[in-house]
Structure 1
C-alpha cells in the first residue's frame, strides 16, 4: 500500500465508504458472476494498489451481482451517448473508485469528468489509471451551480450526467432540488441533457440498513422514489426514456422480492432510469 492510500483509507466514512462495496463487486465479478461477462482490469489494479480485501462484502451475493448488473447498464448508457454525441460532455457524479471511463475509452472529442468528495478524488488521483480526456473534480455533486462553473460546458453542448449509487443517500428535499437544478442548468445553456441514475423505492429506503453490505458501513438510505416517472413531475421538462429493473436481475431472492413488490404496487423496488431533457 502506498503512503497516500494508507493515510486516506481510514478517512472513508459515511457515503464515501460505500465505494468499497462496488469495488468489491467488480473485483469478484469474473469469479462469482461469470455469466454477466464483466471484465475490468483497471478495477483490479485499483484493488491491488489499495491492498483491499473484497471478502468484507463478497458474501452479500445479491449486492455483488446487483452492482455488476447496474454497472453494465450504466456502461451501456455511456457507450450510447459517446457514440451519438462524440463531442459531448460526461459528468459522473459520485464516481467513487469506479473505472467506467477506462472501460468505455471515450473518444478524444468527449470531455469526461469524475466528480466526488475531496477525500475520494484524492484516492482516484492516486489509484485510477489516468486517461487524456478524463479529469477529476472535487465537490458535492448535488451543488450543481458550483460544479458547472468549473466545466468546459459551452452553449448547446450535449451533457450526460451519470449518478450511480447516489440518489438513495440524499435527503429527499435535496435530491429533488438537485434534479431540478440539473434540468434548469441545461435549459439555460440550451443543451440537451441525458440523465441516468438508480432509484430506491420507499420500501428499500426504509430498510436500507438491513442491506448486508450497507449495514457494514456508516451510511444509510434516505430518499425513496415511488416510481421513476415521479421525477418528471419533480422537474418539468424531464422525460423518462426507460426504466430498468435491477433487483429482478440480482439473484433468486431479489427476483422474488422484486416481483412481489411489483405485483402489490405496480412499481419497481429498485431500478435504473434514463431521462432526457431537450434543449429549448
Structure 2
C-alpha cells in the first residue's frame, strides 16, 4: 500500500471533492464494482485524511451518477471523436482514466487553483489533456479553451454550490463560447438540500445554494439548451448493480416523490 504522504487542507465546497473520491474508491472495493475506478482507490491510499467521516454522504448514489455521466460522455465521443471535453469542478475526479478518450480529444479539467495544485500530485498535463486553475465562475478561463469542435461539458456535483444566477450566467457563457455540444449536470431538490444541510456544513463547511424542484425551471435558464434526458439517480439501471440491501432501499425510495427527485441527472444539447 502506498504511503499516505499527501495531506489535504481544503474547506467548504473545495473539501467536498474528497466525498466523491471516497465514494468511487469504496465502489472499487466491491465484488462487482460499477465504475472499476482503480485510480480513485490508488489516490485515496496516498492521502492523509479522515475519510471515515465521509461515510454518510450517499456514496452509492454518487457512483451511479458518475456512471451515467461516463456513459453519456462515451456515447458523445463515439460520434464526435474530435471533441473537446470540459470537466467543470473536477476536484480529484478520475474520469479521464476511466474513459480513455482517443488522442484526437482535447480534455480540460477545471477547478480552483488550490485544488489543481493538489490534483497535480496525481495527474500531469500532457498532449490532449490540460488542468485549468480557475473558479468556473471566473469569466477569464474560457477564453483560452478552443471553440472549433463539438464540446461535451460535465458538471458533476458542482452546480449545487453556485447560486441560480451564477448557474445561469455560466451556462450562457458556455453556449456563447461553443457553437454546439452537450451539457450534463445534476440537480438536487429542496428536500435533499435541507436533509443534508447539517451534515454537509458540520463536515466540510460547505453549503448547497441551488435547488431545483421543477425541471422546467432548469430548462428556462438558457434558451439555447434543449433537454435530452432527465433521469432520477435512483432510477438508473446502475443502481441494480449495488448490493441487495442497497437495491431494495433505493427501489423503495424511488416510489416516494421527494426521494425520487432528490437528485436528477440532466443532459442538454445546444
Does the TM-score normalized on the shorter chain lie above 0.5?
yes
Q: Give the deviation of 1:202 after TM superposition.
A: 2.3
- Provide the C-alpha distance between the structure 1 equivalents of 2:125 and 2:51, rounded to a whole number of angstroms: 23
CA gap of 1:2–1:125, structure 2 versus 1, over 3 A, is farther
Q: Per the alignment, do residues 68 and 213 of structure 1 end up closer, same or farther by CA in structure 2, a change over 3 Å counting? A: farther
- Contact 2:26 2:41 (C-alpha < 8 Å) held by counterparts: no
| Contact 1:18 1:214 (8 Å CA) reproduced | no
Q: How does 1:44-83 map to 2 (within 5 A)?
A: 44-58=41-55, 60=56, 63-83=58-78
| Secondary structure in 2 matching 1:126 | coil
Distance 1:258 1:227 in 2: 17
**Equivalent residue number for residue 180 of structure 2:** 192
| 2:34–2:63 Cα contact (<8 Å) kept | no
Q: Among residues 79, 100, 104, which one is paired with 1:105 in the alignment?
A: 100
Q: Is residue 91 from structure 1 mapped to residue 86 from structure 2 by the alignment?
A: yes
Partners of 2:193 and 2:114 lie apart in 1 by: 26
Aligned residues: 259
TM-score (norm 1): 0.83
What is the match of residue 232 of structure 1? Answer: 219
Q: Could you list the per-position Cα deviations for residues 177-213 of structure 1 after superposition, in whole angstroms to 9, with x for gaps in the alignment?
A: 2222222333xxxx21200000011222333314x45
Cα distance in 2 for residues equivalent to 1:31 and 1:48: 12
Which secondary structure does the structure 1 equivalent of 2:170 belong to? helix
Equivalent-residue separation in structure 1 for 2:126 and 2:136 (angstroms): 21
Q: In the TM superposition, what is the alpha-carbon distance from 1:254 to its structure 2 partner?
A: 5.0
2:234 and 2:250 in contact (8 A); partners too: yes
Which residue number in structure 1 is paired with residue 36 of structure 2? Answer: 39
What TM-score results when the alignment is normalised by the length of structure 2?
0.86
Residue 261 (1) aligns with residue 257 (2): yes
1:241 correspondence with 2:234: no
Q: Conserved in 2, the CA contact under 8 Å of 1:200 and 1:270?
A: yes
Instruction: Decide which moves more: 226-235 or 98-107.
Output: 226-235
82-91 or 124-133, larger mean C-alpha shift: 124-133
Deviates more, 1:65-74 or 1:252-261: 252-261
Long gaps (5+) in structure 2: none
> Is 1:273 paired with 2:269?
no
Q: Distance in 1 between matches of 2:262 and 2:21?
A: 23
- The answer to whether residue 165 in structure 2 is matched with residue 173 in structure 1 is yes
**Superposed CA RMSD:** 2.4
